[in-house]
Amino acid sequence: MFQQSKSLCIASLHSGGVITNYFCSSACRHCLYRCSPKWPKEYMSPETTRKNLETVHRLGCHAVHIGGGEPLLRPEALGSVLEMARETGVAVEYVETNSSWFRSEAEACAILEKLRASGLRTLLVSISPFHNEHIPFWKVKGVLEACQRTGIVVFPWVSGFIPDLETLDDRQTHALEEYQQRFGAEYLQALPQRYWIAPGGRALETFGALAVKKPLEHFLSANVGGCAELAEVSHFHLDLHGNYVPGLCAGLAIQREDLGKPLPPEKYPLITRLYAEGLRALAAYAVEEYGFRASGSGYASKCDVCYAIRRCLVVERGITSKELQPRGHYLYG
């Protein structure tokens, strides 16, 4: 029987954001949240926005960023989120965009002017080979120009990739393999040194394919003790369903109303085991309760192990758990 040695309590929040939607025009190979066009076309409602922002404010965080998915696929809904932030006294540091919505400078300026009136001040514009697989660089350039014309501050993420992107036709999309052909076979492997990438989501497959796989027992023995990452509050997220993502562990969820108090193990058997005793406790629970079997081909990292267990429960065993949300994280790939 599991004896909880310590409790996880998200008592305060430092820095983070809200996820307005998971549907996206892209399916980037590094995406932590596995966003893509496959997701339902759902956007954060005004009620959920208010509750999320009030919770963030109550727990000590007075500024957030807004991300997705692609928030600007619904500019009017984004405007409502910005206005709600103003009403609740929560500043918006920036809004993230992949620029897929750009069609013309005039249309982009009109959209940005309206959003500026609602409170938009800074746009984080994604610039990377990952995004360029889905979005031609001319659209990104168009958004950068529209920001300059409308007085929106640009947060280029990451401007260091501009020289790479400029070597290819900006009217076309380009696969990562094209960059490898141009810059060398080690290009993909070197990307995490140039672009901060969380060890989750599609990055598990993208970079796991480059790693030497090791058996389950290696990671159980090498990671003794609880997963402290679950308590990290320096880059938190609350999503459109009112779920809090613990640490950067996408696919795990704590209900908003349970923030600020110790999590009960009977309601959160997976998260409490992970936090108190780590991978070994999670794996033992999955084996005993759901017949989880380790992959014979091994795993690339401890996060790869954790995701494999969780995906098994959702996809192979078909369980519905409030901890393993959103289900699309496991179902849409």
Query: Looking at residue 321, what is its pLDDT?
Result: 98
255 found inside a domain = no
228 found inside a domain = no
234 found inside a domain = no
**Residue partners of 284: CB distance under 8 A and separation at least 6:** none
Phi and psi of 117, rounded to 5°? Answer: -65, -25
261 found inside a domain = no
104 found inside a domain = yes
Query: Looking at residue 207, what is its pLDDT?
Result: 97
**H or E element, residue 180:** helix 176-183
The end-to-end CA distance of the chain, in Å, is: 34
Q: How far apart are CA 154 and CA 145, in angstroms?
A: 10
Q: How far apart are CA 208 and CA 308, in angstroms?
A: 12
Q: How far apart are CA 247 and CA 236, in angstroms?
A: 6
The encoded tokens of residue 8 equal 């996880």
303 found inside a domain = no
Q: Are 58 and 84 in contact (CB under 8 A)?
A: no
The encoded tokens of residue 177 equal 């393999």
Query: Looking at residue 1, what is its pLDDT?
Result: 52
Q: What is the pLDDT of residues 52-74, one digit of tens each?
A: 999 999 999 999 999 999 999 99
The encoded tokens of residue 19 equal 């996820």
| Domain assignment of residue 135, given as a range | 16-196
DSSP assignment, residue 213?
Answer: P
95 found inside a domain = yes
Query: Looking at residue 6, what is its pLDDT?
Result: 87
Q: What is the pLDDT of residues 226-268, one digit of tens each?
A: 999 999 999 999 999 999 999 999 999 999 999 999 999 999 9
164 found inside a domain = yes
Q: How far apart are CA 267 and CA 244, in angstroms?
A: 15
| CATH code for the domain in which residue 112 is found | 3.20.20.70
Q: Are 65 and 234 in contact (CB under 8 A)?
A: no
Number of domains, the chain: 1
Phi and psi of 67, rounded to 5°? Answer: -140, -175
Q: Are 161 and 129 in contact (CB under 8 A)?
A: yes
Degrees, nearest 5: CA angle 300-305-307:
110
Q: Note if the bond before 68 is cis, omega within 30 degrees.
A: no
Q: How far apart are CA 200 and CA 198, in angstroms?
A: 6
Query: Which residue positions in the chain have pLDDT lower than 50?
Result: none
With CA atoms as reference, report the closest residue to 124 among 90, 147, 150.
Answer: 147
